[in-house]
Amino acid sequence: MKKEFKVIADLLPENVRVLDVGCGDGSLMNLLIEKKNIDARGLELEQENVKKCIFKGLPVINGNAETELHQFPNQSFDFVVLSQTLQAFYNPEKVLKDLLRIGKSVIVSIPNFGYWKVRTSLLFFGKMPVTKTLPNYWYNTPNLHMCSIKDLFNFCESKNIKINKVVGINGDKTSEIKKSNLEIKNLFSKLGIFLIG
């Protein structure tokens, strides 16, 4: 089980309604249903993944989060989860706004472009970084809007989006990120998980 999913599961209370946007093969939904008795729903673009979810008996809607979030009514979920896909949207700002409309709270995770290995890749080798969390090359990456933990932190503040909690992940280690340790955590976290709204 991915560390990221464990952290997300820990952030969520039991028995709530969760929409998992870009739910993949349903691993996170399965975890949330089993561990927390959560009423989980998924939205997924890839046909193969949709099929996998259906086989597991997980409710999943085949659709594109970029264009089809309008179908979900205002505040119809307690939480909306977006795992490592924000950076792949054409218009992440609009998607984030939609997520905050649908969910009372939103959990967003991002691969951190401020991570030191990413920084050194560009600094010392002059090449776009290829890491475990960013496995693709510049020409085939789905990521259009890479950002760092600090970027998303600043974005939320500038848009008056309430930041409830930020967790940084590096390997098996997790740590809470606050404004006071933002610089250092932005350098050492591979992944950032934001609970906002």
The nearer residue to another protein, 69 or 100, going by C-beta atoms, is 69
By CB under 8 A, residue 50 contacts another protein: yes
CB 163 within 8 A of CB 157: yes
By CB under 8 A, residue 71 contacts another protein: yes
By CB under 8 A, residue 73 contacts another protein: yes
By CB under 8 A, residue 37 contacts another protein: no
Per the structure block, which two tokens stand in for 154?
């600043």
By CB under 8 A, residue 60 contacts another protein: yes
* One of 10, 59, 131, 176 touching another protein (CB under 8 A): 59
CB 44 within 8 A of CB 24: yes
Least distance (Å) between residue 82 CB and another protein: 18
Least distance (Å) between residue 56 CB and another protein: 6
Least distance (Å) between residue 84 CB and another protein: 23
- The DSSP H or E segment spanning 173 is strand 173-176
By CB under 8 A, residue 170 contacts another protein: no
Q: Which residues pair with 105 in a beta bridge?
A: 79
Strands 77-83 and 163-170: unpaired
Cα-Cα-Cα-Cα torsion 197, 24, 60, 3, nearest 10 degrees, comes to -50
7 Cβ contact list (under 8 Å, min separation 6):
167, 169, 174, 193
By CB under 8 A, residue 62 contacts another protein: yes
Q: Which stretch binds another protein (CB under 8 A): 4-12, 51-59, 110-118, 121-129?
A: 51-59
Q: Which residues pair with 111 in a beta bridge?
A: 191
* One of 29, 53, 118, 182 touching another protein (CB under 8 A): 53
DSSP labels for 175-186? EE--GGGHHHHH
Size of the site for another protein (CB under 8 A): 19
* One of 33, 76, 78, 128 touching another protein (CB under 8 A): 76
* H-type alpha helices, 106-189: 116-125, 149-158, 182-188
Residues found near another protein in the complex (CB under 8 A): 41, 47, 50-51, 53-63, 71-73, 76
